[in-house]
Structure 1
């Protein structure tokens, strides 16, 4: 399992896509591949109002990632130190086996400047190694994204869940 967790408080997300833009800027990606995605769910009627929710979809850095064994060249790797799943671009031949294997759509095809390689969310491991947060988290204007070690984020997740249950009981 990854040492790190990226948590979204969906009720706070307004769907501004700043996280996607920051990710692309950090990885110098053009239009096309989206290493994290904000997916709109809805609209649905809540009383007399139409409402939408926004779900943040990064790579989940699975405990047993399907993309790693699917990769015939070993380009899809997992860092032993923290469990981050990443692409070693020098080994990627662009076969897209990892794209087919991932149920979440995390690996993305990047045909342009990188000459047909796969890219994916790596929690901005270059930034993490410097003691920084992933780019997506740093630009979130509503503070709905939280990143950290699993034992640090678990209390945040529990608090968020408790607030959600309390609001549901009160009819919010």
Structure 2
């Protein structure tokens, strides 16, 4: 499993897609492949009012990634140092086996390259001590990136606070 985790506070997300745009710009992607995406959920009636939520989806950088196991050329790899799953484009022959193997749809077809691309947490930026491009572009700061343990604790804390505030609210 990746040493890192990218978390979203769905309460803050406004569905502006700045993360998607920044990702595409950073990776020089044409229309088509989306390494991360905002999925709209709703609208649903919540407390009698229509509400829409936005969920940020990207590669999960699995502990035992099916895409890596399925790749016949070794192009789909996982870094031993931190568990980041990435594509070595010099080895990719465009067979799309990794696309079929991933249950989450993380590997995407790049028609201009004739190869597969996927989220790699902007590993080049991480190696420089920077955050992934999508995180830096988030207008509401709903995306956070860090060590898995730290991000899990933040998520637990956020959940505990929301439960506590709900229990103390009066309708």
In the other structure, the counterpart of 1:139 is 137
Aligned residues: 170
Distance 2:170 2:15 in 1: 24
Whether 1:32 aligns to 2:32 is yes
Distance 2:118 2:105 in 1: 9
In the other structure, the counterpart of 2:88 is 88
In the other structure, the counterpart of 2:123 is 125
Q: Structure 1 residues 127, 171: closer, same or farther in 2, change over 3 A?
A: farther
Deviation above 6 Å: which 4+ runs of structure 1? none
In the other structure, the counterpart of 2:23 is 23
Listed as ranges, the gaps of 5+ residues in structure 1 are: none
In the other structure, the counterpart of 1:64 is 64
Distance 2:166 2:105 in 1: 32
Listed as ranges, the gaps of 5+ residues in structure 2 are: none
In the other structure, the counterpart of 1:107 is 107
* Paired residue secondary structure (1:61): coil
Distance 1:166 1:121 in 2: 35
**RMSD of equivalent CA atoms:** 1.3
Distance 2:15 2:135 in 1: 14
Map 1:46-57 to 2 at 5 A: 46-57=46-57
TM-score (norm 2): 0.95
* Paired residue secondary structure (1:12): coil
Q: CA deviation at 1:171?
A: 6.4
TM-score (norm 1): 0.94
